[in-house]
Amino acid sequence: MNKKLYSLSAHELDESLKNNAIKSEDICSALESRIKELDPKVNAYLKRPKEPLSGDAFVSTGIPVAIKDNICTKGFYTQCCSRILEGFIPPYDATVIKKIKESGHSCLKFKTNMDEFAFGSSTENSFSGPTRNPWNLSCVPGGSSGGSAAAVASDEAIWALGSDTGGSIRQPASFCGVVGLKPTYGRVSRFGLIAFASSLDQIGPITKDIYDSALLMNIISGYDPNDSTSINLPVPNYTKALGKDVKGFKVGIPKEYFVEGLDPEVKASVEEAINSLRKLGVDFKEVSLRHTEYAVPVYYIIATAEASSNLARFDGVQYGFRSKDVNLIDMYKKTRGEGFGEEAKRRIILGTFALSHGYYDAYYLRALKVRTLIKEDFDSLFKEFDCILTPTAPTAAFKVGEKVNDPLKMYLSDIYTISANLAGIPGISLPCGLTKHGMPIGLQILARHFEEEKIFSLAYAFEQNTEWHKLKPKLT
Amino acid sequence: MPKYEAVIGLEVHLHLSTRTKAFCGCSTEFGKEANSQTCPVCLGLPGSLPVFNRTVLDYAIKVALALNCKVQEYTKFDRKNYFYPDLPKDYQISQYDLPLSLDGFLNIDTDAGLKRIGITRVHMEEDAGKLIHEDNASLVDFNRTGVPLLEIVSQPDISSPEEAYQYLSALKTVIEYLDVSDCDMEKGSLRCDANISLRLQGESSLGVKTELKNMNSFKGVKDALGYEIKRQSELLELGEILMQETRLWDVKELKTVSMRTKEGAKDYRYFPEPDLPPFIITALKIEEIRRAIPELPHEKIRRFVEFYGLLESDAKVLASSRKDALFAEECFNSYPGKDKKPIVNWFIGPLLAEANNRNLSISGLNISSAHLLELLGFLSRNEISNLAAKAVLSDMIDTAKSPEEIIKSKNLIQISDGGALKEIMEEVISENQKSVADYKSGKENALMFLVGQLMRKSQGKANPKIAKELLKERLNA
Amino acid sequence: MIDKKIVEYVANLARIELKEKEADVLSTQLGDILGFIDKLKEVNVDKVSPTSHAISLSNVLREDSPKESLPVNSVLSNAPLKRGNFFLVPKVIE
C-alpha cells in the first residue's frame, strides 16, 4: 500500500497519520521514488544541489509541502529559477514556511520549477529548463507556478505552494487538472515571497482537491506583523465551508469572458459546469464587467513597473551572481545583463519605461486609474452576487515553444485571471473537463474580498457532483 | 553694498533617535561592528518587507509642528529608484508628492533683527549604508541602512553664509528641545547640503544654482557658502556663464570642487511604495502631539525675560542650549527669595565665563543646582567674598566637591567679627600713617587703599564692607 | 512611441547591458506591447483616482522595540566578495 501513498490527497494521508497507520517518512520515501521515476520527464523540481545542506528546514514531519522556488526557505536554496540568484540561501524562513512547520508539516527537500521570477505563463523561462505538462509532455504546464502544478498533477507532490500575480497559480492548475487558489490580497503573508509585483502577489495552495485547498489555507492564512499589507482579520476554518448547501447561491457569468478567443471546447465545458451547478439550485445570471478588456494592459504596466523596482536589488553586491568588472556601473550592467533571462529583461525595461520621466502619467498613472475602474466593476457586482464564474484560461495547455517568441500572445493567456489580482479578490481554478485531446480544462470561481468560504462551498459542491478531480494523467 | 545677492536654500537630513530603525527592529546604535546591526529587511534581502516604526511618525510630526509646518491629513511613502552600493534595495523608501508636512518657517536672528526662513517641507525617509573607500575597492557597511531620517528643506530665503549658520543653529536648538535627535554632525546624524545662486541686487529672477555637498560642520557650511559667493561673483564679473553643477566642499583646501558625474540627468522613477499602506493623520493625533511639545527656545527666551528679568541677549545665550536652559531654570526656581537677580547674574557672569574658558556648555560644567545654591548661600550671608566665591566655583568644577568642603579646607570664611578685624585694622593704621593722614586731610581715596591693605593682611578673608565701616568709624572718631 | 534610443536610455536606468541585437529585438517587441497597451487611452479617467494598493488599509505601524539582528557571518554568507566584515564592491568614484 505504501508504494501508492503518493497518489493520495493530504486529507486522506492526514487520517492515516492520525491513526498511526503510516508515518511521515513513508510519505516522503513514496514521493522520493515517484520523483526519481517521473521527474526526469516532467522536470517539476529543480535539480538537487550537489552538496546536501544542513539545517532544520526540511525535517520530515506531517505531510510535506512542495514549495515554489520564489518562497524563502532558511538554509536552503531559493533562486527564483534565475541565474542572477544562483546559489542564494536565505538566512530566514518565509512566514508561510514557518506556519507550515508550526502546523506539524514540513517542506519537501526540493523546490519547484517556475518561470524566472514568476515572469511567464508556461514555465519555459527557467534556468532549469521547461517543466512539461504531465497530461502531455509536449505541452506546457502553464505558469509561472508550473512546477508546483505539474508536481501535484503527476503525484510527485501531495500538495504544493505557488504564487499568483496575474494567474500564476490558477492558470497552471487549470492546465494540469488540479486545484489552485489565489487568496484575497492580504489573507496570506507575503513575507519571504520574493516579490514580483508587490500589490498583486499572493501565495496560495495547489492541491489535488478542494478539501486539501481548504486545509492548506487553514495553515498558511492569517495576519503577519511582518507584512504591512496583511490583514488583521480572524481566519475561519475553511473546511467548515465544504458541504454547505449552495442552493440559492447567486452567481454571475460575465459576458466579456465568453467572446472571441475563447476555445469552443473550453466554453462547452464551462457551460456544462454551469448546468450541473444549476441542478444544485445555483442561480446564474449574465453580468457585465465592463473594463475587462483593459485588464491585461493595466496589468502589464503595473506589474512590470513594480517588478522593475523590486528586481533592482539583484545587483551583484550582496548575494547571487556577479559579473567581474573593475568599474561599478559596468559591474551592475553586466551582472544584470548576463544574470537575467530574456523575459525578465523585457519586463524590467518595460516597467522602467512606464515609470520614467515623461511617461509616468501616460502609462503608469493611467494604469492605476483604470485599475480603480476594474476594481469598482467587481465591487458593484458583489453587492448582488455571491460569486462570479468564468473559464480559468481561454484554452487548454498549449505546446512547448508555441508562444515563447511572441510575448504579447503569451501575455493574453492570462486574460481571465489577471482581473482578480488587480481587484485583490480571491479566485480558484478547479478541473471541469478534458479537451478531445485529453487536456484538462479549468473552471474559475471568484468572490468578494475575504469570501474564500463561498468559493470553497461552490467549488466543493461542483467537485463532489463530478468526477473530473479524480482523473489522473497516464504517466508511467 | 555688494553687487550680487546670494540666494541660498538648505536641505538638512536628520537622524531620529529612535531605538530601532525605520522599517525593522534592528538597533540604531552608532559605532558598532560593521554589518552587525542588520536583518533581512534592512539588508533588502529578497522576500523581506518593511513595517513602519510608530515612533518615527510621532517624532516627525513633532518636528513638523515645531517648525510651524502644516501636517498633511494623508501621507504615503514612495520609492526613489537609483543604483548605489550603499542602498541595498537599490531604491530608497522616501516621500515624494504627498510628504508628511508642508509650508512652515523658522525665525533666525540677523543684524537687521528677526528673519523668517520658510520651510518647504519636512518628510520621512530611510538612510543608506556607509561606504569606505580603499585603494582598489570600496567596502560596504549596512548598519546605518534604514535608520530613520527627516529631510527638512528650506525655502531659498537665506541671503548670506551667516544667515545659513544662524538657521542651522536655530534648527539644531529646536530639535534638541524636542529631544528627537542628537544632531551630531560628526556622527552624521545631522547633514546639510546647500543650494546657492547669485543675482544682481534688486533682481527678481534666479541665477544658475550650484549644489554644495560634503560639509561636515556648521562652520563648514558657512565657509563653503562664503567661498562659493566669492567664486561665483568673480566668474560673473568676468562675464562667464555659470553651469548648474554639484560641488564638494574640501575642508583641507578650503574650497569647493566640481563633482563630475558620468551619469546623465537624474530619473528617480518615484512611485507609491506598494509594500506600505498610506497614513491618515487625524486632527486629534496632531493635537495630541502638539500638546506634548515642550516649550520651544523662543518661548523660553520670552519667559526668561518676563519672569526672571533677564536681558533678552542673556536669555538667548541660556536658551540656545536646552540643557543649559533647563539647568538655569532649575536653579532659578530653587533659589530662595523673589529677587532672582543674584542667581541670574551668576549664570550669565561667572558660570558662563567658566564654560567659555573651558569650551564647554554650562550644563557641561557638571555642577549640581544644590551645590550652586549652597555657594550662593555663603555669598549672600557674607560668609565668603565675591572673589573667593568665584575661586570656589572653579574648584567645584575641577573637583566636584561641595562648596562647604572647599571653603572649609581652604579656610575662606570671611572675617566679619569686629574684634578680629579691629586687631588687623590697628596694624594697618600703624603701618600706613601717611594714608591715614591723607584721609584725614580729605582724600577719600586713601580709605579704599587702607581697606585694600586690610584685605591683603587678612588674606582676602576680611569682609570688605565691614572693614570699610570699621575703618571709617575709627578714623572719623 | 518607443524606439531603440529610448530602450537604451531605459536599459541604462535599469542598469542592464543589452547587446546590439537585443536592443533591436526589444524595441520591436516593446513597440508591439505598448501598441496594445495604448488601448488604455480609450478610457476616460478624468475623475478617477488611482489605486496603488489592492486593499485599502492605513496606519500600519509597529512599536519601536528592538529585535535581534542577524549574526554577521550569516549576513555575509551569500556575499560574492567580502573583506573582513564588509561587502566588497568595485571602487566607487565620487
Asked if the structure places residue A437 within a domain, the reply is: yes
Using an 8 Å CB-CB cutoff, list chain A residues near C80.
316-317, 319-322
Q: What is the mean pLDDT of residues B397-416?
A: 83
* Domain end marker among B289, B310, B334: B289
Asked if the structure places residue A329 within a domain, the reply is: no
Q: Which of B43, B47, B276 comes nearest A194 by C-beta? A: B47
The answer to whether B132 contacts chain C (CB < 8 Å) is yes
Asked if the structure places residue A320 within a domain, the reply is: no
**pLDDT tens per residue across span A121-161:** 999 999 999 999 999 999 999 999 999 999 999 999 999 99
Give yes or no: residues B283 and B384 share one domain: no
Q: What is the CATH number of the domain that holds B443?
A: 1.10.10.410
The answer to whether A230 contacts chain B (CB < 8 Å) is no
Name the pLDDT band for A51 (thresholds 50, 70, 90): very low
C-alpha cell at B251: 575642508
Residue B446 has pLDDT above 60, yes or no: yes
Chain C nearest-CA distance from A109, in A, is 20
Please report the pLDDT score of residue A1 as a whole number: 46
Domain that holds residue C28: 1-43
Place of cell 518661548: B299
Q: Is A309 designated active site?
A: no
| Residue in chain B lying closest to A91 (CA) | B40
Asked if the structure places residue C70 within a domain, the reply is: no
Q: What is the mean pLDDT of residues B73-89?
A: 97
Chain B nearest-CA distance from A9, in A, is 30
Q: What is the mean pLDDT of residues C49-71?
A: 96
Beta-carbon separation of C72 and B24 below 8 A: no
**pLDDT tens per residue across span B141-167:** 999 999 999 999 999 999 999 999 999
Q: Name the domain count of chain A.
A: 1
Beta-carbon separation of B47 and A306 below 8 A: no
- Is pLDDT larger for residue B473 or for residue C5? C5
Q: What is the mean pLDDT of residues B362-367?
A: 89
Distance CA B386, CA A400 (A): 99
Please report the pLDDT score of residue C2 as a whole number: 84
Beta-carbon separation of B44 and A199 below 8 A: no
Q: Is A419 designated active site?
A: no
The answer to whether B269 contacts chain C (CB < 8 Å) is yes
Name the pLDDT band for B466 (thresholds 50, 70, 90): confident
- Is pLDDT larger for residue B448 or for residue C63? C63
Asked if the structure places residue A359 within a domain, the reply is: no
Give yes or no: residues B255 and B367 share one domain: no
The answer to whether A408 contacts chain C (CB < 8 Å) is yes
Using an 8 Å CB-CB cutoff, list chain C residues near A190.
none
Q: Distances in Å between the alpha carbon of A103 and those of A9, A71, A144, A381?
A: 17, 18, 27, 37
Q: What is the mean pLDDT of residues A70-93?
A: 95
**pLDDT tens per residue across span B179-234:** 999 999 888 999 999 999 999 998 888 899 999 999 989 999 999 999 999 999 99
The answer to whether B97 contacts chain C (CB < 8 Å) is no
Give yes or no: residues B430 and B375 share one domain: no
Distance CA A217, CA A215 (A): 5
Beta-carbon separation of B271 and A305 below 8 A: yes
Give yes or no: residues B341 and B467 share one domain: no
Residue A55 has pLDDT above 80, yes or no: no
C-alpha cell at B422: 579691629
**pLDDT tens per residue across span A411-453:** 988 999 999 999 999 999 999 999 999 999 999 999 999 999 9
**pLDDT tens per residue across span A282-329:** 999 999 999 999 999 999 999 999 999 999 999 999 999 999 988 999
| Residue in chain C lying closest to B91 (CA) | C14
Name the pLDDT band for B468 (thresholds 50, 70, 90): confident
Domain that holds residue B284: 4-289
Beta-carbon separation of A309 and B269 below 8 A: yes
Domain that holds residue A178: 2-291+372-470
Beta-carbon separation of C58 and B57 below 8 A: no
Asked if the structure places residue C37 within a domain, the reply is: yes
- Predicted TM-score (pTM) of the model is 0.92
* DSSP assignment of chain C: ---HHHHHHHHHHTT----HHHHHHHHHHHHHHHHHHGGGGGS--TTPPP--SSS-----EE-S---PPPPHHHHSTT-SSEETTEEEEEPPP-
Name the pLDDT band for B265 (thresholds 50, 70, 90): low
Please report the pLDDT score of residue B425 as a whole number: 86
**pLDDT tens per residue across span A230-282:** 999 999 999 999 999 999 999 999 999 999 899 999 999 999 999 999 999 99
Q: What is the CATH number of the domain that holds A278?
A: 3.90.1300.10
Using an 8 Å CB-CB cutoff, list chain B residues near A317.
85, 88, 140
A 10 A CB-CB count for A179 gives: 30
If contacts are CB pairs under 8 Å, which of residues 23-62 in chain C contact chain B? 52-53, 56-62
Residue A34 has pLDDT above 90, yes or no: yes
Residue A175 has pLDDT above 80, yes or no: yes
Q: What is the mean pLDDT of residues B73-87?
A: 97
Mean pLDDT of chain B: 91
Residue B260 has pLDDT above 80, yes or no: no
Please report the pLDDT score of residue A59 as a whole number: 57
Chain B nearest-CA distance from A4, in A, is 36
Give yes or no: residues B171 and B107 share one domain: yes
Q: Which of A9, A24, A68, A122 is catalytic?
A: A68
Percentage of chain B lying above the pLDDT 90 cut: 61
Give yes or no: residues B24 and B42 share one domain: yes
Residues 6+ apart with CB under 8 A from B234: none
Beta-carbon separation of A356 and B43 below 8 A: no
Q: What is the mean pLDDT of residues A353-375?
A: 97
- Which helix (H) or strand (E) segment holds residue A338: the answer is helix A328-339
Lowest mean per-residue pLDDT among A84-98, A258-272, B413-427:
B413-427
Neighbours of chain C (3+ CB pairs under 8 A): A, B
The answer to whether C89 contacts chain B (CB < 8 Å) is yes
Chain A nearest-CA distance from C77, in A, is 8
Q: Is A106 designated active site?
A: no
* Domain end marker among B375, B409, B443: B409
Please report the pLDDT score of residue A54 as a whole number: 45
Neighbours of chain A (3+ CB pairs under 8 A): B, C
Please report the pLDDT score of residue C7 as a whole number: 96
Give yes or no: residues B458 and B390 share one domain: no
Q: Name the domain count of chain B.
A: 3
Q: Name the domain count of chain C.
A: 1
Q: What is the CATH number of the domain that holds C2?
A: 1.10.20.60
| Residue in chain C lying closest to B29 (CA) | C66
| Whether complex ipTM tops 0.95 | yes
Give yes or no: residues B196 and B312 share one domain: no
Give yes or no: residues B63 and B118 share one domain: yes
| Residue in chain A lying closest to C70 (CA) | A91
Please report the pLDDT score of residue A2 as a whole number: 52
Give yes or no: residues B363 and B439 share one domain: no
Please report the pLDDT score of residue B443 as a whole number: 86
Asked if the structure places residue A241 within a domain, the reply is: yes
Please report the pLDDT score of residue B264 as a whole number: 56
Lowest mean per-residue pLDDT among A45-49, A93-97, A198-202, A287-291:
A45-49
Distance CA B405, CA B409 (A): 6
Distance CA A254, CA A259 (A): 10
Instruction: Give the mutation candidate from C61, C74, C78, C81 for the B interface (greatest B CB count, under 10 A).
Output: C61
Interface residues on B facing A, Cβ-Cβ cutoff 8 A: 40, 43-52, 79, 81, 83, 85, 88-91, 138, 140, 262-263, 265, 267, 269-271, 274-277
**pLDDT tens per residue across span A209-229:** 999 999 999 999 999 999 999
Distance CA A119, CA A314 (A): 15
The answer to whether A360 contacts chain B (CB < 8 Å) is yes
Give yes or no: residues B210 and B336 share one domain: no
Please report the pLDDT score of residue C82 as a whole number: 96
Chain A nearest-CA distance from B216, in A, is 26
What backbone phi and psi angles, to 5 degrees, belong to B236? -65, -40
Looking at this protein, which amino acid is placed at residue B411? N
Residue A3 has pLDDT above 60, yes or no: no
Name the pLDDT band for B261 (thresholds 50, 70, 90): low
Give yes or no: residues B151 and B263 share one domain: yes
